Structure 1
Amino acid sequence: MNTPYQILGEAGIRELCARFYDIMDKAPEAATIRRMHAADLGPMKEKLADYLIGWMGGPPLYADKYGSVCMTEPHAPYRIGPVERDQWLWCMDRALEESGASEELKRMLEIPLQRIAAAVQNSEHGAREPDGTIIATG
């Protein structure tokens, strides 16, 4: 069985991440998580791609650049609840769909992506900015 990295390759994963953040940037359905990011999503596209390349079975680019591969630390300043988790998953589902991912690949990634999203969730309530300002959800 091929790994997601073998199916998509580095270029495919980078394209998936670009689509993911483009969707987040434009879709009203992702407004809450979009507000948690800087105006320029370019650096995040690269970071997520570096992480997913290693996570999907490729070289450990994220670990090589940043050391730790812990996904909870960078998200700790933000209140990430069920709404934010589900918006992230929605964007990833749309990105997989728009990138033409096969049903096999979508099934292969479904549960692992849900686990990543659940691991990053750190609250049962709405999101907050790092300064404590509540971001309206809904």
Structure 2
Amino acid sequence: MEQIEHRTIYEAIGGYKTMNNIVHAFYTRVNDHPDLKPIFPDDLTETIRRQMLFLTQFFGGPRLYEEERGHPMLRRRHLPFPITPTRRDAWLTCMAAALEEAEIKEPYRTAMMERLTLTANHMMNTPE
């Protein structure tokens, strides 16, 4: 029988340090992406902080986002921003590259992208 070493993806990938690497690698790409940059603020400091809280919780770490901001209500919080299929795909491309840069190993990389893809699909709110 295989021993389970980690209870969550967050623990398995290295916790805070690795999640921080992912989030910063992701926003470096977002800031340079022509489809994404228009819907993000010029100063990404608070956006990065909130994404760090959210992804930590989303992947099984401490429930920091919920403690600070309540239920994520992602779709509702993102309704003011036109999220098209093109922007969804760009977001996922940036996240996949960030996971690669952060050296997330399998099976965690695939598991993370599967969850993020479901969420990104749910966030679309505007046709092309």
User: What TM-score comes out, normalization by structure 2 length?
Assistant: 0.89
Letter in 2 for 1:105: Y
Q: Structure 1 regions of 5+ residues with no counterpart?
A: 126-138
Q: Alignment partner for residue 60 of structure 1, among 55, 60, 63?
A: 63
1:18 is matched with 24
> Does the CA contact (< 8 Å) of 1:14 and 1:46 recur in 2?
no
Letter in 1 for 2:11: Q
Task: Indicate whether 1:5 and 2:41 are aligned.
Answer: no
Task: Measure how far apart 1:90 and its partner are.
Answer: 0.4
Within 1, Cα distance between the matches of 2:64 and 2:34?
29
Report % sequence identity: 26
Matches within 5 A, 1:1-138: 1=4, 2=6, 3-8=8-13, 9-26=15-32, 30-125=33-128
1:136 is matched with none
SS in 1 for 2:60: coil
Structure 1 consecutive aligned stretches of length 4 or more whose deviation exceeds 3 Å: none
Q: Structure 2 regions of 5+ residues with no counterpart?
A: none
User: What TM-score comes out, normalization by structure 1 length?
Assistant: 0.83
SS in 2 for 1:7: helix
Task: Measure how far apart 1:124 and its partner are.
Answer: 1.9
Within 2, Cα distance between the matches of 1:53 and 1:99?
15
Task: Measure how far apart 1:32 and its partner are.
Answer: 1.5
